[in-house]
Structure 1
Amino acid sequence: MQTATAHRTGQLMVISLNNYLAVEAAYGAEAARNAMEHLRRTAERHFGRATLRSVHRHEMQLLVSHAPLRCLPGRSAAETLCSVLMEQPYRWGDEEILLFVSAASAAVSAMEDPLDDSLAEARGRLALSCLQGAQIFSRSHEAVAQYRKDMAAAAGLMRLVRRGAAFFTWRPVAQPDDPGLILYYEAMLRRVGHMGEQIDCADGYAALDRLGMAYLLDRRMLSDVIDELEGDPAACLNVAISSQSLSLNLLGEETGWNDMIERLKRDPGLARRLVIEIADNGGMPHFRDAVAFVRGLRELGVRIAIGRFGSGHASIGQLMALSPDAIKIDSAFMHTAYQSGRNRARVSHLIGLARTMSPIVILDGVESPWHLHIAREEEAQWVAGSHLGRPSLRRGWLNAGYSATVASLTAFNSAFQAADSRGQRLPN
């Protein structure tokens, strides 16, 4: 890195390693210090020219002075930097460790001390991140063992994604009385097993979620689904992201989703065919941010769905505040409906409750003719499950005939226009 003081306008970039304390507890103090050194080297390659101002535990300060950075808004530069820093895992011995960083910048008029005002400005922007610096981590033996286990699973999944060995399959959401009428296709991540079979990536994703790093995969998946929408104007697609990723300030002030939002702004037709499903696996840790995130997407035309309804951690009040366009009943309730009359009644109750919050209710877990019979008895309008369509590499919307394509697009538009006509709005 450059050590000489440069007298030209630039940026003070403040970087925070959010899982510093966890890495320190699980792998040792030297591993955490070397993780910061890994970030420094990666940032140096990214910027080409930068001055290391200081490193103190989880925080690093860089002075950057080159023209391309000044041409970018500070938030875009910070988001790009975060993406670069998190792209590859940090290797410590035989371990691969995923690093989760946030960043913010402030302009400086001269690349020399004192920079107190610029530092305060950058730290203020960084403090708006819902992550807010190094995360608290328990140092108990059980917590450390679980963290290392989760890190191995999460890093393994991200390795498959980087190599293209994890891929999307597509599952239709269809009408029970007319399985050929498709509302949309759900993107479901799979990998290839030892025998060539498709295996879902739920375990690896759950590990990412427990680590607080689901965004690392959510961002990739959303980008890939937007690619699919760009590739075919007849595609109506759904992708599920973690509730912990629902923040426009995830990596700093208005930093985390800018590139995706800009893509959707440039082509509003993409947004209108995109359904983002909130996978409520661990509640909504940043609820105010989640409301703002959903509002921002909906203003672009994106539709919002709630997944795992009945088994999620969010309260009914929180779900109502999000005002979802669609709700999907957790498949677990259909899987156990045959066990007792009470279980069967629970399905009916959940469908009724969901209908009070959303005009579109999807009954998941239709795996047999008996499940389909229940769906019809409950007058479910939309269902998902292997009985009507298993997840497939085949992009069904590409192979549909003209009339089927028109019918599905009409069904999609009609269903979601019903939500609009109800005047659903997020609270101010």
Structure 2
Amino acid sequence: MHANKRIYLSAPHMSGREQHYIAEAFQSNWIAPLGPLVNTFEEKVADFAGVKAAAALSSGTAAIHLALRLLGVAKGDTVFCSSFTFVASANPILYEQAEPVFIDSERETWNMSPAALERALVEAKRAEKLPKAVIVVNLYGQSAKMDEIISLCDAYGIPVIEDAAESLGTTYKGKQSGTFGRFGIYSFNGNKIITTSGGGMLISDDEAAIEKARFLASQARDPAIHYQHSEVGHNYRLSNILAGVGISQMEVLGDRVKARRAVFDRYEKALGDVDGVSFLPELCESVSNRWLTAITLDNGVSPHDVINCLAEENIEARPLWKPLHTQPLFASSLYYPHQENESVCEDLFSRGICLPSGSNMTEDEQGRVINLLIKLFQKNEVNTWTTSIQ
């Protein structure tokens, strides 16, 4: 056992009210999938986001998959997707035997580059193979430039799926993240800003589409007294018990956003003036939930140096997402860089790291992380200076 208490990258943070709703589920015997708490959870998320309807699902991945099905994505179709993201953003494209085309990031948000997207759309139209959908990811809580992206996609008649798995509680121009495209998705995985252990939500202003999503997520059972099925369905619905956890978590979402932003502010205050350290930017028209504090290094220290340094003290840190177009799974997929000779997401991956950012991390624990980083950077400066004068 390590002498120092473990500091996780993003640990679950319970509100204390979860047991109340779980007990309600047991007392009413609604312990099977679906039930009144699922309905309440959907209503609370839809009200918070300002959309007409929401479907509670087993994961954010399931939400993306159903969004693609609702948009009619099929074998041979193409779907444009952010490259700088977790594989769950793109795997559902493969579920439908469609072809992903990956779009680079731009430096101001680290999210999908409007310039690269426009170039990809121009070429796709010329080839008479426009995508059936565009999946835009809001990385580490920072919103993409949704106005520019939506405008481009509208010009070509392409629906947008906004992957807001990491950005619940973020706003862009005063509007909640996840509400700009035809569909938005949230994740309630254990490491997200709020959690249902595992779970997700598909949201939209298209109430009929959300009702169809619920149907598909419940094994696509036709309205007959016997078990009849006319199309392929999935077992994607969230359980009533986990929905109770989600209701409790929604009650403290505002507090969790404030706590994560406070974590970011402390890191920025302590490290913002250190040479070669830069933080994930925040658009002036956006308020990020700062799900994870992410930095890039240009001072001779590598992400692996930081990970190893912190790991020795029982502290978890991780590299940024490895771009999907560089993954073996997508080796044959098309990729559009930000500019012809500039792959922004590859550069960010080579220099970036996510620091421990949990909303339940104490200031003393964060102080441990900061002190270790300062010592590492100072040691590197001394080594660099010594080498330069030899």
Q: TM-score, normalised by structure 1?
A: 0.24
Q: Which has the higher helix share?
A: 1
Q: Which has the higher contact order (CA 8 A, sep 6+)?
A: 2
Compute the TM-score of the two structures, normalised by the length of structure 2: 0.26
- Of structures 1 and 2, the larger Rg is shown by 1
